[in-house]
Amino acid sequence: MGFVRTLTDARRRIEECVTRLRAYLDAQGSRGCELGVGSALDRRPLELDSLACCVATYCEALSLVRERFWTTTFLDSGFWTDDDTAARADINGWNGVMTRTLAAANTRPRRIFLIDLSPAEYADAEKERRIHLRRTRKSDELNQLKAKRSRLRQNIHRMLDDGCEVKVAFDQHAHYKTFRDQVPFDYWDSELAIYDDFRVDVFGGGRTGVINRVRSYSPMLQNFPQYLAAATRYFEQLWQSGEDITKFLKRLERAEQVAEQRIDYQPNWLARYEFGLNATDEHLKTLELDKVKSVLAKRQNSGSIRHYLDIGTCTARYPIQLSRVLPADVEIIGIDDDPDCVQFARANVAEHCPSIEHIRIEHEDFTEAELTSSSIDRQFDLITCMLGTLSHFGRGRGDDFEDSLQSALRRMFDILAEDGLLLIGTWSDEACKNRDMLKIYSDDDCRLLAEWTPTRQELKARLPLAGLQGRRSSIELRLDVWICQKEGRPVSLSTIPPLG
């Protein structure tokens, strides 16, 4: 029936392993190879190449752990993200036994999830991946991705609840190359397990989650102390550079939220926003800009503006336009969390302000707990957040103001100079009621923006809680401009999350 050659070869390889182990045991006496007694005889690690054997030997080794279990795995491995399997049930069970054994010895197992980018870059790539799936209407793939991430979180939280220490790490300095000089190791596919001081395993197939082979290094091998030292050193290097898994999961959660908040503009929306709006929408943009210029003209100390920040700069329209009315040496920074906007804005600045060196466009998410750009770590004399950008912070806002919108307002307070000026252009109550924003928005976009935009009454209540005082100026039926300054310190409410 076509099984003879396959089964004969498998039996031969198993019998070879048994023969090698017996020879070692015979040389060591009755104490057993797991204690590492006596001299080593062999040069080749034991190798098994079936999923069942890999799982069985892993679980059996876990049952012998008494002092240390360190292991690496891949964050995107199907083992952690696919539906439950019998193999995972066995491994989870023995992991639980091992964790309780180590707890009795007052120590904890350690697991590192490997990624191929820095944690921040990985979260950003996750955000872009979800945005792309939404853009291309691949709802099935998006739902599958969400389900995988949900199962990954469940498995990680189970590990944490069991008492395991967990980190995520990117081998930025390629430490695996030094380890590979001692032990054959494929960083893009191999997973590592260290059991006390009696064994080191290198598993293959880890990235897919379908383990297909394992090479086991034990005291029966010559040079085992060197193998163990190299594996330990490599793991410690990853652990020291790794990020706590709970912090990383928050990064992913934030990336998912941003992707959900992303407005699905019509095709070529940046070019249409800059050059192809209909006459009514273009007039609205002009009215808003004229209002900002008017406020600056009336401000007696406008000449004292030295640092200006535009939040949600989009095409860099405000940095470019205000560079012509602000002092010549003012520092101008525009930020946006959309890489397409950043690229477009930088090209716009290069075209329209080629001789001005003090305008910078940065890729930055203003609602992140930790801002990545050092350019934002200062006090700004002028801050603008125009043409409905504030609405993008309002997803999921609540009556108790425990939300990203209030955090954004508080951050504006934090970086606004004591006598600085904050200008906010936000959609009016009428625009939200009629879902009448810019025509580049789809009907679904307008519905979301209407849900996310605070009412005039709500914003009037939020500003003082953020330490700001503001007066509203209605420049057109669809848009309000709020002119804000510092009033005092933000109200210390336990329900309002502090900024990072």
Q: Is residue 396 part of a domain?
A: yes
Contact 364, 345 (CB under 8 A): no
pLDDT tens per residue, range 354-408 = 887 889 999 988 887 777 777 777 899 999 999 999 999 998 888 888 888 999 9
Answer yes or no: do 281 and 386 share one domain.
Answer: yes
pLDDT band per the 50, 70, 90 thresholds, residue 29: low
Q: Using the Cα atoms of residue 21, residue 24, residue 30 and residue 34 in order, give the sign of their dihedral.
A: negative
Q: In this structure, what token pair is assigned to residue 199?
A: 């064994």
pLDDT tens per residue, range 417-434 = 999 999 999 999 999 999
Read off φ and ψ for residue 163, nearest 5 degrees: 105, 10
In this prediction the pTM is 0.62
Q: Is residue 500 part of a domain?
A: no
Distance CA 112, CA 164 (A): 10
pLDDT value at 474 more than 90: no
Least confident of 27-31, 220-224, 293-297, 350-354: 27-31
Answer yes or no: do 248 and 167 share one domain.
Answer: yes
Which of 260, 281, 299 is the C-terminal boundary of a domain? Answer: 260
Answer yes or no: do 293 and 306 share one domain.
Answer: yes
Tally of structural domains, the chain? 2
Instruction: Of 362, 302, 300, 356, give the one whose Cα is nearest residue 334.
Output: 362
Answer yes or no: do 123 and 229 share one domain.
Answer: yes
Answer yes or no: do 292 and 209 share one domain.
Answer: no
Contact 427, 419 (CB under 8 A): no
pLDDT of residue 21: 73
| Mean pLDDT, the chain, integer | 85
364 or 304, which is more confident: 364
pLDDT tens per residue, range 210-263 = 778 899 998 888 889 999 999 999 999 999 999 999 999 999 988 888 787 766
Identity at 322, one-letter amino acid code: L
Which of 233, 260, 287 is the C-terminal boundary of a domain? Answer: 260
Share of the chain above pLDDT 90, in %: 47
Q: In this structure, what token pair is assigned to residue 441?
A: 């928005």
Q: In this structure, what token pair is assigned to residue 290?
A: 């004229």
pLDDT of residue 269: 66
Answer yes or no: do 252 and 145 share one domain.
Answer: yes
The CA-based dihedral angle spanning residues 267, 270, 271, 275, taken in that order and rounded to the nearest 10 degrees: 130
pLDDT of residue 301: 59
63 or 210, which is more confident: 63
pLDDT of residue 93: 81
Answer yes or no: do 208 and 310 share one domain.
Answer: no
Q: Which domain holds residue 178?
A: 37-260
Least confident of 240-244, 287-291, 435-439, 440-444: 440-444
What three-state secondary structure class fits 49?
coil
Answer yes or no: do 300 and 198 share one domain.
Answer: no
pLDDT of residue 40: 53
49, burial (CB in 10 Å: exposed 0-12, middle 13-18, buried 19+):
middle
Answer yes or no: do 133 and 272 share one domain.
Answer: no
What three-state secondary structure class fits 431?
helix
pLDDT band per the 50, 70, 90 thresholds, residue 492: low
pLDDT band per the 50, 70, 90 thresholds, residue 3: low
CATH number at residue 176: 3.30.870.10
Q: Is residue 3 part of a domain?
A: no
Which of 260, 285, 317 is the C-terminal boundary of a domain? Answer: 260
pLDDT value at 443 more than 50: yes
Q: Is residue 14 part of a domain?
A: no
What three-state secondary structure class fits 22?
helix
Q: Is residue 190 part of a domain?
A: yes
Q: In this structure, what token pair is assigned to residue 327?
A: 């002092």
pLDDT value at 85 more than 70: no
Answer yes or no: do 84 and 71 share one domain.
Answer: yes
Answer yes or no: do 118 and 148 share one domain.
Answer: yes
157, burial (CB in 10 Å: exposed 0-12, middle 13-18, buried 19+):
middle
pLDDT band per the 50, 70, 90 thresholds, residue 456: very high
pLDDT of residue 210: 74
Answer yes or no: do 332 and 444 share one domain.
Answer: yes
- Could you tell me which residues come within 8 angstroms of residue 412 by beta carbon, excluding any fewer than 6 positions away? 311, 383, 385, 422, 466, 468, 484
Least confident of 25-34, 87-96, 112-121, 172-181: 25-34
pLDDT tens per residue, range 161-198 = 989 999 999 999 999 999 988 888 888 889 999 999 99
355, burial (CB in 10 Å: exposed 0-12, middle 13-18, buried 19+):
exposed
Distance CA 9, CA 7 (A): 5
Q: Is residue 68 part of a domain?
A: yes
- Could you tell me which residues come within 8 angstroms of residue 217 by beta carbon, excluding any fewer than 6 positions away? 45, 183, 199, 200, 201, 202, 224, 227, 228, 231
pLDDT tens per residue, range 318-339 = 999 999 999 888 999 999 988 8
Q: Is residue 326 part of a domain?
A: yes
